[in-house]
Structure 1
């Protein structure tokens, strides 16, 4: 009996991941032929993926070209409002529903992430993993789906707030507070701690953007 082959990512997922990890950044032009060569697929699925990403406003038109979209100030503010509420709800539900094993995974993440301080890119990846684990620990598939959509749009921000001086250390302490509330099954504290964490990240980003004006 032959072993089943692992499922391959489709063109949409591969382009989306490339945007998420910063291979393609806001303003970068996406060319069908270049993408087909990079990902080893034909141009037809690439074209379909680009159309789908444009429909989701992750890509924008620049003349006849498609570029990775960017978020203006108002769009970013609107995104953080939604993210703050949904993430807070995820933390509340995680405090209620998370299995002991899921809480242990969160604890291990927080401890191991301390070694990443000073590496903004690594901290950003670890931050996404930590938040994703909370989303899953909420045990609410519809909430997870909505948060996935929010995080797709978050990929359109050119930089991470964790690149700001001292933000990595602050974020790690905030993660510890979130973890403590979930561990103690304190739903209100978990909700408040995660909302405060997102609010401080937004404030950091606003300050960083203001310094560039």
Structure 2
């Protein structure tokens, strides 16, 4: 498959960023002309970018239209399994390879995020930056690439588990424990702490979805 042209790469990145940031959410229809106007590019790179996103299963067909894809229960469960494995490995490698400066940044992130507990949207954005910092501290480019793909799919979830009452405070305590294990160079402990963090996030999301279905029913 030939590499995408520069223009289509830019359009791809802009659309992907818009999905990541919640401008376009699961189920939203993406129209070439509207995207071209929004991003100030021609329709050709937009079309190529949409085709690429569809190939990656980030967009789905709804008749003749393309919509932002959503994840069903099984897809969500599968994603969390992979995420737990990869994130645990990232924490293990961070405990082994992170520089003192990287550990300091992680610690400062946890402290700063305490002020965001009452704002789930802001906390979710900062949470993503925190996890990305752990990925980078693993010093394994291939692992970082795979986790980028996982987080790309995470954008297809309509809500954040951090919106559940009390989850923000719990997540912050979990982040504190993860960083403490990385600081201590405890590879097993860092792996275990991050896996536990992802597992509880998944449990919270399942309860969130069950409550939504009960309300709709």
TM-score range, shorter chain: over 0.9
Structure 1 unaligned segments of length 5 or more: list them.
Answer: 1-8
Query: When the two structures are superposed, what TM-score results if normalisation uses the length of structure 2?
Result: 0.94
Query: How many angstroms apart in 2 are the aligned matches of 1:153 and 1:177?
Result: 26
Residues 1:66 and 2:34 are matched in the alignment? no
Partners in 2 of 1:18 and 1:192 — Cα distance?
A: 33
2:48 match: 48
Looking at structure 1, the residues matched to 189 and 40 of structure 2 have their Cα atoms a distance apart, in angstroms, of 48
Tell me the distance in 2 between the aligned counterparts of 1:158 and 1:186.
Answer: 35
Unaligned runs of 5+ in 2: 1-8
Distance (Å, rounded) in 2 between the aligned partners of 1:172 and 1:119: 13
Deviation of 1:212 (Å): 1.5
Q: How many residues align?
A: 205
Corresponding residue for 1:138? Answer: 138
3-state SS, counterpart of residue 212 of structure 1: helix
> For 1:207, what is the secondary structure of its paired residue?
helix
C-alpha distance in 2, partners of 1:197/1:74?
20
3-state SS in 2 of match to 1:67:
strand
Render the CA deviation track for 1:25-74: whole Å, top value 9, x for unaligned: 00000000100111111111110100000000000000000000000000
User: Given the alignment of the two structures, is residue 158 of structure 1 paired with residue 171 of structure 2, yes or no?
Assistant: no
Q: 1 CA distance for matches of 2:158 and 2:87?
A: 21
Rounded Cα–Cα distance in structure 2 between residues aligned with 1:40 and 1:103: 40
Separation in structure 1 between the aligned mates of residue 203 and residue 174 of structure 2, nearest angstrom: 14
Deviation per residue, 1:172-211 (Å, 9 max, x gap):
0000000000000000000000000000000000000001
Root-mean-square deviation (Å): 0.7
Q: Which residue of 1 aligns with 2:39?
A: 39
Give structure 1 regions of 4+ aligned residues with deviation exceeding 4 angstroms: none
